[in-house]
Chains A and B, each alone.
Chain A
Amino acid sequence: MSLLEWLQGGLLISGALMFLVGSIGLVRFPDTFTRIHALTKADNLGLGLIVLGLIPASFSLSITLKLLLIWLLVMLASALSGHLVAWEARAQQVPLRQPGETENPEGTHE
């Protein structure tokens, strides 16, 4: 395996790990706001690492630009949706929680 392939593999695996960490955060974090943090941050970075890992696979200009555009659009969309969820959660006065605190029976995260 060449150096480039090692680099690609490393980028792809660390990207996948970021997604895994983000998913664990989504399940484990105590309230809406920390869950948004886990999801958007990990996804943006994870997707960015995967895009970087995929670019050397082709070295075609059009595919590279398309991949970067996908990353850019997803970042924009996830920042926006994260902001909207937080905005609506504040409007509905969703409570902040510390780790270990029990959720109320209605489950505001739904």
Chain B
Amino acid sequence: MNEMIDWLLLLGLGAVAITSLMSQSIFRAVVFFILLGLLLSLVWIRLDAPDIALAEAVIGAGITGILLLDTLGQLKKTGKLTTEPSPSRARLGLALLASLTLVGLLIWAVLHQPQPAIALHQQVADALPESGVDHPITAVLLNFRSYDTLLEIGVLVLAVLVGLTLQSKDAPPDSLPGLPNPLLHACLTLLIPAMLLTAAYLLWAGADRPGGAFQAGAMLAAAFILLHLSGTRLSPRRSEFLMKAGLVMGFGVFLAVAVSTLIGGRPFLTYPDGSAGMLILLIELALTLSIGLILLSLFTVAHTPAQLPGKRRQDEQ
């Protein structure tokens, strides 16, 4: 029975991916891409990886889907949406060859998997009591391999800073009017508190269950974007300084905790004995807020058109 579900998921994934790629209408392609994200999160659940499933559902299907749909709406509004002629046979063949080679290599890699020399999951399980949290994924992300997580959040901050830099100064404050729909606003007063509560729950649950800062931050971002779409502005223009402080806060707190241990003569990015759990919670709290604001900013930046290169040159002269 379970195997049948797996095969159905696999076939569905393939069918949805091909439909998304081959679709003539871009809107249909985007919808099928979102569907692909949802199916993929089901696959992660079947692989016993609920953490990745949560992240895939919220970020892969949710936020990316919103960004794609938003871009599509923007393109339609500005009339830049053109359907390209279908690529030539040679290009298609080349792409097919490349992807088939990759698939072949991946299958080969799975079949010839070497026996792991070190039992990593065993090491994680042994060190778990000292990590400050009870969930192995959170322990790896924020304690054993926290260096990777620090760099990840650094990349996110960098991305949003680049986005903000590309924003033109004289762009209109917001090119997106809120929806004046009374039912929407009535429902938001119910939905927004529920979303904030869910974000807090996800953050708290990360200590001993699937969850954590990234999932909670993405949920927070979804609440922010919903507010933004309905006309309530949280945009950088209203309180630019606060917004920028919020964007870098997660990275800043993480870095501060990482460096502060150097004062006590301990190596970079280690936690003092006994206070690891507290510090991880502090970092995750800051990360959640920052990730929420970063994803919101990535969304709002898209609404203020970047300066055209030609125009900028004129300004410099």
Chain A residues in the interface with B (C-beta under 8 A): 73, 76-77, 80, 83-84, 87, 110
Q: Is the Cβ of A110 less than 8 Å from the Cβ of B190?
A: no
Q: Is the Cβ of A76 less than 8 Å from the Cβ of B27?
A: no
Interface flag for B75 (CB, 8 Å): no
Give chain A nearest CB distance to B107 CB in angstroms: 33
Q: Is the Cβ of A73 less than 8 Å from the Cβ of B27?
A: no
For A83, list chain B residues within 8 Å (CB).
181, 183-184
Please pick, from A73, A76, A77, A84, the residue contacting B179 in the complex, using a CB distance under 8 A.
A84
The chain A residue with its CB closest to the CB of B186 is A80
Q: List 20 A-B contacts (CB under 8 A).
A: A73-B191, A73-B194, A76-B187, A76-B190, A76-B191, A77-B191, A80-B183, A80-B184, A80-B187, A83-B181, A83-B183, A83-B184, A84-B179, A84-B181, A84-B183, A84-B184, A87-B181, A110-B25, A110-B27, A110-B28
Q: How far is the CA of A54 from the CA of B205 in the complex (A)?
A: 23
Q: How far is the CA of A73 from the CA of B197 in the complex (A)?
A: 13
For A87, list chain B residues within 8 Å (CB).
181
Q: How far is the CA of A77 from the CA of B226 in the complex (A)?
A: 12
18 other contacts beyond A76-B187, A83-B183, with CB at 8 A cut-off?
Answer: A73-B191, A73-B194, A76-B190, A76-B191, A77-B191, A80-B183, A80-B184, A80-B187, A83-B181, A83-B184, A84-B179, A84-B181, A84-B183, A84-B184, A87-B181, A110-B25, A110-B27, A110-B28
For B184, list chain A residues within 8 Å (CB).
80, 83-84
Q: How far is the CA of A87 from the CA of B179 in the complex (A)?
A: 10
Q: How far is the CA of A87 from the CA of B180 in the complex (A)?
A: 11
Give chain B nearest CB distance to A79 CB in angstroms: 8
Give chain A nearest CB distance to B28 CB in angstroms: 7
Interface bits B148-186 vs A (CB < 8 Å: 1, else 0): 000000000000000000000000000000010101100
Give chain A nearest CB distance to B69 CB in angstroms: 12
Q: How far is the CA of A83 from the CA of B185 in the complex (A)?
A: 12
Give chain A nearest CB distance to B60 CB in angstroms: 19
Give chain B nearest CB distance to A68 CB in angstroms: 14
Q: How far is the CA of A110 from the CA of B31 in the complex (A)?
A: 10
The chain B residue with its CB closest to the CB of A110 is B27
For B191, list chain A residues within 8 Å (CB).
73, 76-77
Q: How far is the CA of A73 from the CA of B28 in the complex (A)?
A: 27
Give chain A nearest CB distance to B188 CB in angstroms: 9
Closest 9 A/B residue pairs (Cβ): A80-B187, A110-B27, A83-B183, A87-B181, A110-B25, A76-B187, A84-B184, A84-B181, A80-B183
For B25, list chain A residues within 8 Å (CB).
110
Q: B286-315: which residues lie under 8 A (CB-CB) from chain A?
A: none
For B190, list chain A residues within 8 Å (CB).
76
Q: How far is the CA of A31 from the CA of B25 in the complex (A)?
A: 19
Q: B1-44: which residues lie under 8 A (CB-CB) from chain A?
A: 25, 27-28
The chain A residue with its CB closest to the CB of B183 is A83
Q: B215-258: which residues lie under 8 A (CB-CB) from chain A?
A: none
For B181, list chain A residues within 8 Å (CB).
83-84, 87
The chain A residue with its CB closest to the CB of B179 is A84
